[in-house]
Structure 1
Amino acid sequence: MTKPTPTTDPKDKLTRTERKDITRNSLLQAALALMGEGRSFTSLGIREIAREAGMVPNAFYRHFRNTDELGLELVEEMGIALRRLLREARQTDTANTDIVRRSVQVYRRYVVDNRLLFLFVSSERSGGSRILRMAIRNEVAHFTNEMAQDFRRLGAYKDLSTASLQMVCGLIVTTMLAAAPEILDLPPDQPMLEAEMTENFVKQLQLVLIGASSWKEDPRKA
């Protein structure tokens, strides 16, 4: 009688680090899934996050000290990925209008593809944990500084001081964050509404940039 060939669990071939990353990501996704049910992040408990991820509570503490630390990981994940995508969108030799439109399209797609993550960011940006509010503000500062550096590299707004250029970029980032809830609330399969919203978004950013090009520095403060 032929002995059955033992099956190998694919997880057995993973390294300890890979298994740890999978478990960590499962906890992150579990927290987002609970928020997708209408829960606020601050109302989530460690036990229910672990249960949603199919783990015991002790497994949570092997990755995060508390829920705030898990939230910080979500904020960082959003910031790193989005900064990279928008940096790639800006690093093209095209007209400013095309760069703005491409950036809007990249941003809208990322928000839609990461709906739960942006529900979390939109909620925690103005409420909830002070630690997470500060983390989101730090990410906004990173966005602002990188955008200002790219504008300098492209030779845009040469007459603006560094402080004024950063103020302009801060307005752009704030406009983008404010647009996220509108993107998330857009009904599915409504191409005309989507096109209208995208066009309005582009125009808002263009108004900021037109204002920046017309801004006159106070020579006493330059």
Structure 2
Amino acid sequence: MSLTKPALTRSDVEAPATRIERKERTRQRLIEAALALIGQGRGFSALSLREVAREAGVVPATFYLHFRDLDELGLALVEMGGVTLRRLLREARRDGIPPTDMLRGSVLIYKRFVEERRLVFRFIAGERGGGSRIIRDAIRIEESHFASEMAQDLRSIGTLPELSSTTLQMICGLVVTTMLNAASDILDLPPDQPTREQELIENFVRQLRVVFLGAARWRDQR
């Protein structure tokens, strides 16, 4: 009797990776199915687990292999939105926008990101003020993280140096709120109406300028 172990075949080596990839693809299909239903005008809180599974082409039992419930799927969508916003910050830094054009340049970058991730932002816009408390709390946490990263960036380039870290964080929170409120207007822009698009951009830029003009005049109490 030979004690020599049989050599691993190529299929033996690749099988675990293939299963992992297959599981990740199914998970992504469930996420995309929820987004597709949102794209049809459905609110996330109005979706059912069975609807999402059917849209993804899997049985409901498969859903539970990837998410405990719809709230957990919603948290995955919130994370996607957070990753998008952090990517926005990195791109703005990489582009090296001159200070005089920073607000307008940032608005244009943000507008493009919203349009590229239309369904994710539609989900976030809809869930910020309603639906599951778990998802609302997760969105607030992402907003806070985004504001913190923005405050760090402003501090590193010497913007508003006279403000305390707490006040700068508050200012950046106002900016993030303005940005997310503007997402709904961007999503609702009708196609092929450049005048309305330009008006939206100019209004967005003015709102941010008001925030920063007020911040420049703010003095922390000693």
TM-score by length of 1: 0.88
Which of 177, 180, 188 is 2:180 aligned to?
177
* 1:58-83 Cα shifts (integer Å, max 9, x gaps): 11111101000000000001101221
Counterpart pick for 1:26 among 29, 51, 71 = 29
Q: Kindly indicate whether residue 168 of structure 2 is the aligned counterpart of residue 165 of structure 1.
A: yes
Match of 1:9 in 2: none
Alpha-carbon distance, 1:142 to partner: 0.4
Name the counterpart of 1:208.
Answer: 211
Report the residue type matching 2:194 in the other structure: P
Secondary structure (helix, strand or coil) at the match of 2:177 reads helix
Higher deviation after alignment, 103-112 or 159-168: 103-112
Equivalent in the alignment of 1:149: 152
Do the aligned residues in 1 keep the contact of 2:85 with 2:146 (CA within 8 Å)? no
Q: Is 1:218 paired with 2:221?
A: yes
Q: 2:77 is matched with which residue?
A: 74
Contact 2:171 2:215 (C-alpha < 8 Å) held by counterparts = yes
Structure 1 range deviating more: 79-88 or 132-141: 79-88
Match status 1:35 vs 2:38 = yes
The residue correspondences of 1:87-98 to structure 2 (distance < 5 A) are: 87-91=90-94, 93-98=96-101
Identify the range of structure 1 (184-193 vs 62-71) with the bigger mean alpha-carbon deviation: 184-193
Of all paired residues, the percent bearing the same amino acid is 57
Q: What is the alpha-carbon distance in structure 1 between the residues aligned to residue 20 and residue 210 of structure 2?
A: 48
Deviations 1:12-36 (A, max 9, x none): 9x72222222111110111111122
Q: Distance in 2 between matches of 1:58 and 1:93?
A: 49
Q: What do you get for the CA RMSD once the two structures are aligned?
A: 1.5
Structure 2: segments with no counterpart, 5+ residues: 1-14
CA contact (8 A) 1:111 1:180 kept: yes
Instruction: Report the counterpart of residue 198 of structure 1 in structure 2.
Output: 201
Unaligned 5+ residue runs, structure 1?
Answer: 1-11
Question: Structure 2 CA distance, aligned partners of 1:17 and 1:207?
Answer: 50
User: 3-state SS of the aligned residue for 1:116?
Assistant: helix
Q: What secondary structure is seen at the aligned counterpart in 2 of 1:178?
A: helix
Deviation at 1:101, TM superposition (A): 1.6
- 4+ residue runs of structure 1 moved beyond 3 angstroms? 90-95
Give the C-alpha shift of residue 96 in structure 1.
2.6
Q: List per-residue Cα deviations over 1:78-111 (Å, max 9, x = no partner).
A: 1012212223203554433322222111111111
